[in-house]
Every structure is written in C-alpha cells, then in structure tokens.
Amino acid sequence: MPIVIDPKICREGCTICDYFCPGDIIYRISPKESPVVKYQDECWYCGICADNCPVDAITIVFPENMVNCQTDVRTLMGLPAQNVSRS
C-alpha cells in the first residue's frame, strides 16, 4: 500500500491531497470521511500529497525494489552517465 492516510490526524473537510494528486488516485467521498486511495497500483510515489498535507497525515510507503535501486538516475532516464571521480 503506497499511500497511508491516518484518519485520526486527517482534517475534516480538507481536500488538499485530492486536489494536488497528479494521478487523481486520492478521493474524498464526503467532507466528514477521510480520503481514500482509489487506485493504489497507479500511485506515482511523487509525494506531492504528503508534501502538501497541512497536518502530516499522509505517509508514502515505497516498495522495496524502489528503495534499493542502485542504478544511477541519469541511466534510468536514458542519459549518458556523468563522469564522477570518487576518492
């Protein structure tokens, strides 16, 4: 489960996470209920929802294969690797 929203912390009536989510996967059914994540598998792990939550009610849980990535980001983007000397 990539996004965890703590209903005890989440503010009633707030729709900031729903508004900011670029994947449109967070949805608030009613102002009195905590938001739900409609499509967990489609989370982009961008963190915009958590970054904009005014009460820090959202936690992003990254999959193990994402956390342990050892590949240089430039390589993942299809760019030539930077020539960096390590001492």
Q: Is residue 83 part of a domain?
A: no
CA distance 28 to 38: 10
Write the pLDDT tens digit of every residue in 23-42: 999 988 887 888 989 888 88
CATH of the domain at 13: 3.30.70.20
Q: Is residue 43 part of a domain?
A: yes
DSSP string for residues in 26-67: EE-SSTTSPPEES-GGG-----HHHHH-TT--EEE---HHHH
Q: Is residue 87 part of a domain?
A: no
pLDDT of residue 31: 79
Write the pLDDT tens digit of every residue in 53-79: 999 999 988 877 766 666 676 776 777
Q: Is residue 30 part of a domain?
A: yes
Q: Is residue 82 part of a domain?
A: no
Phi, psi of 58 (to 5 degrees): -115, 130
Domain of residue 17 covers 3-76
Domain count, the chain: 1
